[in-house]
Structure 1
Amino acid sequence: MQDLALGMPTNQTELDMPPADHIKVGDMAPVIRPAGDNIVELAQMKFGFPPIGKRGPVFNVRSQGRHFSDCHRCLVPASAFFEPTKKKDQKIKHRLTFVDATLMAIAAIWRPSRKGQPSAFAMLTTEPGSDVEPFHNRQLVVLRPRDWKAWIDLDKPEEELLRPLPGGSLKVETARGNGPIGKL
């Protein structure tokens, strides 16, 4: 974090971000959010905003045509993300990781706790890049470490940050089956 010009509070360590094999909508998960003067903190939040009406929780938010300067911005740290597809009656999961880095962050927004509910976050999506397009018509906004601070501070134009990665940035591993992939 220090290499990225993002200071961490002295009372937090890597133990505040325990590893998890798979985080699902409704689970608690770590996010990186602003905590003051050029400092960020790890906070546990619920994945997905509470349901609206008869719909389920909101866990993805389209970024195109929207501005997030008045939102609570955060980062969802991850080593990978998954894109599921279905071929006939078989589920196929595609695990996407950076080709040249071990950690990524997904651009997200969060809301403070309300009505007894914990603070919650939703990830931002954009049109798919060439690495994701074969599997899905949308993709998460994945940020390289050099852009983490820019998203937190919004000191770059949103159009520069909230776009797909260039082709060849992501490695894809595919697994078949109906159960969780686990480690590939």
Structure 2
Amino acid sequence: MSGRYLRRSDKQRLAETFGIKGDLSHLTIAPTDYNIAPNSTQPVIRCNRKTGEREMVLMRWGLVPQFAKSLSDFEGATTINARAETLTGKAMWRIPFESRRCIIPADGFYEWKKLEDMTGTQSRRISKPYAFTMKDPQNSPFAFAGIWSAWKDPSGSWLQSFAIVTTTANELVEPIHNRMPVILQPQDYDRWFTRSRTQLNESSVPTSELPLDLLRPYPADAMQSVPHNPLDPNPL
């Protein structure tokens, strides 16, 4: 499970990298966040259905499906990740995957390696964190594949939320954890956003029209990892 990620790019850098146009003064986003946690509000990029242009919005990390009866039913971190292998199964994942795909800007993510620690004659399980980033001399932000949903509470207020899509780990991540976020290549952003013509008229989209082939591990040789000291606010 990918339970923490980091962002060192401010909203202007995100807008330049991901082709966001227009005024962003209404968005309040911390310039950096090296410990992004579940249930926090984070910048997400999606395609505006009216204009067709990319837009940046704030959403809660931890997907609440549109058919939820109560927010309390989905509290906690259980819906922060959506497994690529099950996206076409349960309605909770299938509905947003068919019609509400988004990307989540990031500059890195964390995974924890479980180890045995011998202290004297006692053995205990510990977890050692690692930070994973891109091998990029420009230090540009990259994109997790995501899905989002909008839920209306009994008072009439809307909550928009997202989940990060995960897949099997590549050769770099696998020694630490068996899962990793799906990271999209820039040339695939438009395809990830695109809603099929069929789905505008049908309740369910044929699997052949969904971008399932993009849900693969990112090339390991394009990434790097370092052990992370939790006391250091900047792991990079």
Tell whether the structures are fold-level matches, with TM greater than 0.5. Answer: yes
The normalised TM-score by structure 1 is 0.82
Among all aligned residue pairs of Structure 1 and Structure 2, give the percentage whose two residues are the same amino acid: 25
* Residue 114 (structure 1) aligns with: 152
Query: Does 1:63 find its partner at 2:47?
Result: no
State the shift of 1:11 in Å: 1.5
* Residue 85 (structure 1) aligns with: 113
* Residue 204 (structure 2) aligns with: none
* Residue 183 (structure 1) aligns with: 234
State the shift of 1:183 in Å: 0.8
Shift in alpha-carbon separation, 1:119–1:157, aligned structure 2, 3 A = closer
Instruction: Determine if contact 1:99/1:170 at 8 Å carries over to the other structure.
Output: yes
Q: Deviations over 1:11-30 (max 9, x none)?
A: 127x7543212110011111
Trace 1:1-184 onto structure 2 (pairs within 5 A).
7-12=19-24, 17-18=29-30, 19-35=32-48, 36-50=50-64, 52=73, 56-67=77-88, 70-88=98-116, 89-100=125-136, 101-115=139-153, 116=157, 118-153=159-194, 158-176=211-229, 179=230, 181-184=232-235
Instruction: Determine if contact 1:97/1:171 at 8 Å carries over to the other structure.
Output: yes
Q: Structure 1 stretch 33-42 or stretch 130-139: which is displaced more?
A: 33-42
Instruction: Determine if contact 1:110/1:121 at 8 Å carries over to the other structure.
Output: yes
SS at match of 1:173: strand
Instruction: Determine if contact 1:80/1:95 at 8 Å carries over to the other structure.
Output: yes
Quick check: which one's helix share is greater?
A: 2
CA RMSD of aligned residues (A): 2.9
Q: Structure 1 stretch 112-121 or stretch 127-136: which is displaced more?
A: 112-121
Instruction: Tell me the number of residue pairs that the alignment of Structure 1 and Structure 2 aligns.
Output: 180
Shift in alpha-carbon separation, 1:43–1:134, aligned structure 2, 3 A = same
SS at match of 1:168: helix
Which of the two has higher C-alpha Rg? 2
**C-alpha distance in structure 2 between counterparts of 1:165 and 1:151, whole Å:** 15
**C-alpha distance in structure 1 between counterparts of 2:187 and 2:129, whole Å:** 28
Structure 1 stretches lacking a partner, 5+ long:
none
**C-alpha distance in structure 2 between counterparts of 1:107 and 1:142, whole Å:** 6
**C-alpha distance in structure 2 between counterparts of 1:92 and 1:135, whole Å:** 9
Instruction: Determine if contact 1:7/1:38 at 8 Å carries over to the other structure.
Output: no
Structure 2 stretches lacking a partner, 5+ long:
1-13, 65-71, 89-93, 117-124, 197-208
Q: Structure 1 stretch 70-79 or stretch 141-150: which is displaced more?
A: 141-150
State the shift of 1:34 in Å: 1.1
Residue 60 of structure 2 aligns with an amino acid whose one-letter code is: K
Q: Deviations over 1:79-121 (max 9, x none)?
A: 1011112323443111111112521110010111321462110
SS at match of 2:162: strand
SS at match of 2:34: coil
Instruction: Determine if contact 2:39/2:77 at 8 Å carries over to the other structure.
Output: no
